[in-house]
Amino acid sequence: MEMRLRKLGVWEIVDGTELRPSGSDSTKAVKLWKSRNDLALSEIVTEVEDGQLVHTRFSRDPGVVWERLKEVHNSQGLGSVISTWQRLFQIRKAPTTSIQEHASTMRELADRLTNLGDQPSDSLLVAVLMLSLPESYSTLAISLDTVSTNLKNDFAYVVQRCMNEESRQIAVQGVPTPTTETVAFAATFKPRRDRKDITCFKCHRKGHYENECGNYPPAPAAAMSASHSDLTRNDLDISEW
């Protein structure tokens, strides 16, 4: 919240370094200060949880309200620290969550711990991140041993490496890896031909093979002559089987 107040340019009012200008409420400087004072108070009230709104209603001074909220947070500090550390150590990347989203959640928990006065180190966040990833990222964890200590303990650097690995895995998804069985089947399988295109060597009739010819009567000479032109093609047919 402090960073938000700084971005709005009203933090100096909250921390007491910028006081109310002298003069009446109708002066331009006082009107501008009061407007910024109200902005700071509004921002603080908007950001607190519903259960803490009661601590913001006793004063219109954002500095006073800030100090009161700080006292409340300090009194609840130990429990908040423990529960936040527990959430951080138990975090796991869900299959539907991207690395960027996962890292952002971790960073939010780290920022909360920092605000509670117990800032986690980058090296600890890196360890938690790698432990929270699925088994498919194990090779990345091993490859990080080859980089310098400064880099492998840099949370932002490791997150980028994880995002690169995520992109690589997404690129290869949906492309099945052929197994030994499927390769062997593809090598030996040939489509079955229609039996009406097969010519017997023995009787020269179509529709059966020579080893099946005992079930058919001999073909007349005319049929033998008519089917002679099929012999060469039949020879190729048999070689294919």
Condensed to tens digits (0 to 9), the pLDDT of residues 208-241 reads 766 777 655 554 554 445 444 454 444 444 444 4
Is the pLDDT at 13 greater than 70, yes or no? Answer: yes
- Please check whether residue 230 is in contact with residue 241, taking contact to mean a CB–CB distance below 8 angstroms: no
Say what the pLDDT of residue 57 is.
Answer: 80
Q: How many CB atoms lie within 10 A of CB 62?
A: 26
The band of 92, judged by pLDDT with boundaries at 50, 70 and 90, is very high
- Please check whether residue 163 is in contact with residue 99, taking contact to mean a CB–CB distance below 8 angstroms: yes
Say what the pLDDT of residue 117 is.
Answer: 81
Check: pTM over 0.85? Answer yes or no: no
- Identify the weakest region by mean pLDDT among 91-95, 121-125, 162-166, 185-189: 185-189
What are the residue ranges of helices labelled H in the chain? 2-7, 11-14, 28-47, 62-75, 77-90, 99-115, 122-132, 138-143, 149-152, 155-172, 180-188, 221-226, 231-240
Say what the pLDDT of residue 167 is.
Answer: 92
- Please check whether residue 239 is in contact with residue 228, taking contact to mean a CB–CB distance below 8 angstroms: no
Interval 158-201: pLDDT, tens: 999 999 999 999 988 754 444 555 445 455 545 555 666 677 76
- Identify the weakest region by mean pLDDT among 10-14, 127-131, 225-229: 225-229
Q: Which residue has the higher pLDDT, 117 or 238?
A: 117
- CA–CA distance, 150 with 73 (Å, rounded to integer): 34
Burial class (CB in 10 A: 0-12, 13-18, 19+), 125: buried
Length of the chain: 241
Say what the pLDDT of residue 154 is.
Answer: 94
How far from 239 is each of 133, 201, 213, 236, CA to CA, in Å?
Answer: 55, 13, 19, 5
Is the pLDDT at 97 greater than 60, yes or no? Answer: yes
> Mean pLDDT score of the chain, rounded to an integer?
79
The token pair at 54 is 């009661």
Interval 33-73: pLDDT, tens: 999 999 998 988 888 777 777 778 878 888 888 888 877 76
Find tokens 């996962």 and name the residue: 102
Q: Which residue has the higher pLDDT, 60 or 86?
A: 86
Say what the pLDDT of residue 145 is.
Answer: 85
Compute the average pLDDT of residues 91-110: 94
Identity of the highest mean pLDDT range in 131-140, 144-153, 219-228: 131-140
The token pair at 32 is 């501008």
- Please check whether residue 189 is in contact with residue 156, taking contact to mean a CB–CB distance below 8 angstroms: no
Is the pLDDT at 74 greater than 80, yes or no? Answer: no
Say what the pLDDT of residue 223 is.
Answer: 46
